[in-house]
Amino acid sequence: MISVGIDVSKGESTVCIMKPGGEILKAPFKMLHTVESVLSLVHTLEAYKEETRAILEDTGHYHLPVVTLLVENGIFVCTVNALRMKKYCSQSLRRAKTDKIDERQQKQS
């Protein structure tokens, strides 16, 4: 499977194409939000002849032309809300065990 990471901004995006395990197939490059540029990306992805997944951040409306053309050309696209991702990444699955934390928990009980 091929992973395509797209960092969307106004008018252009930065794209990186990778395989599992971190193997970079195409180093990060700029892509304008024009039909020609996005179709060029689609043709590049089709040349690999593998299942492709594109992931990009949901940036209001800037990502819409890119998503539309990718989906119309059969590329699976997943959009991620940047704020939700930041909150998710900042969560800790493990709770620290220190005397100060234990003390606060005992006071609350």
In this prediction, residue 93 carries a pLDDT of: 60
Instruction: Give the max Cα distance, the chain.
Output: 63
Q: Assess whether pLDDT exceeds 80 at residue 47.
A: yes
Q: Assess whether pLDDT exceeds 70 at residue 1.
A: yes
- Burial class (CB within 10 angstroms; exposed 0-12, middle 13-18, buried 19+) of 18: middle
The torsion region of residue 49 among left (phi > 0), alpha (psi -120 to 50) and beta comes to left
Domain coverage including residue 47: 2-108
Mean pLDDT computed over 70-92: 79
In this prediction, residue 96 carries a pLDDT of: 58
**Percent of residues, the chain, with pLDDT higher than 70:** 78
Q: Say which residue, 32 or 82, is predicted with more confidence.
A: 32
CATH of the domain at 80: 3.30.420.140
- Summarised one tens digit per residue, pLDDT across range 27-45 is 899 999 889 988 898 898 8
Kind plus residue range of the DSSP H or E element containing 52: strand 52-57
In this prediction, residue 101 carries a pLDDT of: 63
